Every structure is written in C-alpha cells, then in structure tokens.
Amino acid sequence: MPTYKYEGAYAGGEKVSGVVEAASRQEAVAQIRQNCEIVLSLKEIPKTFTQRPAAVMLGKISPKALAFTCQQFAIVLKAGLPLVQTVDLVAGQCDDKALQRLLRQVSEDVSNGWSLSYSFDQRGGKLPVTFRETIRAGEESGDLISAFDRMARYYDRTAKTHAKAISTMTYPAFVIAVAIVVVYVIMDKAVPAFIGTFQDMGTDLPAVTVALIAVSNFTSKYGGLVAAALAAIVAACWLFSRTEKGGMLFSRLRLSLPVLGEIARMAGASQFAHTMSAMLAAGVPILQAIAVSSRSMSSLVMAQEVMDTVAGVEAGRGLGDSMANSRELPQMLIQMTAVGESAGALESTLDVLAEYYDNEVDVRTERALSLLEPILIVCLAVFVVLILFAVYLPMFNLYNSI
C-alpha cells in the first residue's frame, strides 16, 4: 500500500504534517481530513522507503533512561536544531544501547520522510504507550518541546518512585533470604548431628524433639524435590498470570489482600492520574487518553474498569460520572475527577491526585514494612527457641533420671 507524506492546516491556521498509508491519493486525503480541515501538500514516498521498518529488539527500558532521553530531546529542540539532527544528538548521548540503536534508525526514518511518531510506532513496539501517544499528540499540536518536557517530568517521577520501592524492599527481602538459608542449614546439617545422641539415650523423647527430627529427616530426603516443586508451582503461576484469565484472577486476589490490596489500589490510581494528566496536557482526545491510561495500569481489574468508562463518555456523560459504578477505583479519585471536570481543570486536578496517591503509597508501604520487620524477628526468635527446647529437653530429662 502506498505511503504519503502530507502537510495540512487546521481552520485556525495551525499547520500539521505526517505520514498516512492509503490505497489511493483520494483515500489519503480523506484520512488526512479526519484530523485537519485543509490539505496543503501530498507526496507519495518512494517505495524504497515505504517498506515497513523492522522493530528493534528492545528489553525493558528503565524510566530513568526514558526521562534522560526526553529531557535531551526537549533541550536540543529548544535550541532550534532540525529534527533529524536532534535525534542524532540524543542518540549519541544515550547510554542504553538498544535505545541508542532505535534512535539511530528513527533518525534515518525521519530523514526519509517518516514522522517521528510513526517511526517510533513501527520500530519501538515495546516503548511505553504513553511515550508514543504523547509524541503523536505533540506532533499534531505542533509542540513537541512541551510534549518531551512533560514526559521528562513524568518518567523522572516514575523512576524515583521505582527506585524508592526497591530500596524499601531490599532489607526485608535480605532478612527473609538469610532466614531461609539459616533454617535450611540447621535442619539439614545441625539437627542430624544430635539425632544419634538422642537415640543412644534410651529415654522417651519429648514431642517437640520428635517433631524436629521428623522435619529434619524430611528436609534431608525430600528438600530438593520440595524446592523443585515450589519452583514449578511458581513458574506455572507466572505463566498462568500472563494469560488474560489468569491476569484478571491474580489482579483480583492482589486487590483483596488486607494491607497490600489497598497499596495496590492506590498505586493503580496514581498510575491512572499521572498518565491521564500527561495525555490531556499533550492535547490527546479524552477517549484516546482513557485507552492509553488503562494500558499503563499494572492492575488489570482497575484497567478494565477505566476502559468501561468509554461507553459513558461516548454517550456524553462526564468521566467522573462514568467512573461512579467502579468497585476498585478509589472513591476520592472518582469524586475529584468529577469536580475537576465541572471546574474545567481536569488536568491539574489529576496532577494533584497523582502526587497525593504517590505520597499515600510511600507512607502505607513504609508503615507495612515497619510492621513486617518485627514480625520477621519474632518468627525467627520463636523458631530458635523451639530448636533450643528440642535439643536441650532430652538432656534435661536424662539428667533428672540419673
């Protein structure tokens, strides 16, 4: 199918350019007029450049790398450099090799007539949908600088939140890992050394000692099988969670947990508010912004509830009103969205809500972890006391019988 590069204008005089695929020039003009009223020029791109470009193999790109890249784009574009040269300069400053390779190919595409958003769509399939849609909106509005500025702030905030979550979870994860190793060594190495001594005593062993010996024997014989079975169960659960049915099931289970469920619910509200605010600020139509926001949410259940609002918005209802029947979306998010709409300040209201939910997630996570640490210590202390009782009680019984 031929590809056409066009330049158009809105009724107000604002110019726009881009690329469309169409079977004929007439169909291309019809597609273009869906976005702008006037078609100024239309040129078919040579076939050597219209072949669909191969997507670059991208791993998971960190929010920190995206924040730096967007910041560089904004700085260079403000300096007034042409777009092709801008992409080349940003690629040279990029430390992520896969992202750098992608930017090099995007630069080649742009020099051959592709729009920036179209090239990112074709080559960067694993780039966040927020990134690609914001660029598209920036091109259509003729304000790429503001689009990259907004994305730099958005991904910088996401990177800081991600880094804080990792640092917060490091200590509990380390304690749990050490506890598992210590327990295994005690049950597999230390306890068997006492078994022979206990059996030579010729006295009845306490119930706690008998239980400890049974657990130790089981660990020695079947510890490897148990570990393999647990690994297989975890792998099966992970594969099941990748399916649509499994993803929804695990998402519902996560939201139903006593403390972690509320944290997950607030994290989902934060993701929605951040993305929706960024989309609206970039000039993305509200229906498209809702779709992008739902795809950016980690909770599939909450994402589905966001998508369910599309029918209500299409029917002319407000977004807040359409969210009213949601079961998992926080009530404060729903009510403030409705207030922001009625005041004509939905974008700024969502931005404030995003910061609020970010703070709430941090506070509640720290509170949960502050409770987890003493619980771990108490559990380890109880286990150590049980082992001491199991080891020393037979000795005390022997001394009393002498």
Looking at residue 402, what is its pLDDT? 59
What residues does 38 pair with on adjacent strands?
A: 9
Alpha-carbon span 136 to 132, nearest angstrom: 6
- How far apart (Å, rounded) are the C-alpha atoms in residues 75 and 78? 5
Give residue 349's pLDDT: 92
* Alpha carbons 265 and 274: distance in angstroms, whole number: 14
Q: Report the range of poorest mean pLDDT among 43-52, 93-102, 214-223.
A: 43-52
- Give yes or no for residue 165 having a pLDDT over 80: no
Coil, helix or strand at residue 20: strand
What pLDDT, on a 0 to 100 scale, did the predictor assign at position 12? 67
26 Cα distance to chain centroid: 42
Mean pLDDT of the chain: 81
Q: How many CB atoms lie within 10 A of CB 61?
A: 19
Please check whether residue 98 is in contact with residue 111, taking contact to mean a CB–CB distance below 8 angstroms: no
Mean pLDDT of 90-104: 87
pLDDT at residue 43 above 80? no
What residues does 114 pair with on adjacent strands? none
Average of pLDDT values for 47-55? 45
Residue 117: how many CB atoms within 10 A of its CB?
Answer: 22
- Note the pLDDT of residue 333: 92
Structure tokens at 385: 């006391």
Location of structure tokens 């007034």: 80
Q: How far apart are CA 9 and CA 226, in angstroms?
A: 67
Q: What is the pLDDT of residue 185?
A: 78
Supply the pLDDT for residue 1.
Answer: 55
The 38-44 sheet, strands edge to edge: 15-21, 3-9, 38-44
Please report the pLDDT score of residue 49 as a whole number.
Answer: 41
Would the pLDDT of 233 be above 90? yes
More confident residue, 59 or 182: 182
How does 70-106 read in b/e, with b if 16+ C-beta sit within 10 Å?
bbbbbbbbeeeeebbebbbbbbeebebebbbbbbbbb
pLDDT at 260 over 90: no
pLDDT on residue 40: 76
Which of 260, 254, 322 lies closest to 294, judged by CA?
Answer: 322
* C-beta pairs of 248-256 under 8 Å, 24+ apart in sequence: 248/300, 248/301, 248/304, 251/299, 251/300, 251/301, 251/302, 252/301, 254/299, 255/299, 255/301, 255/302, 255/328
Task: Lowest mean pLDDT of 149-153, 263-267, 301-305, 330-334, name the range.
Answer: 149-153
Residue with tokens 């992409």: 87
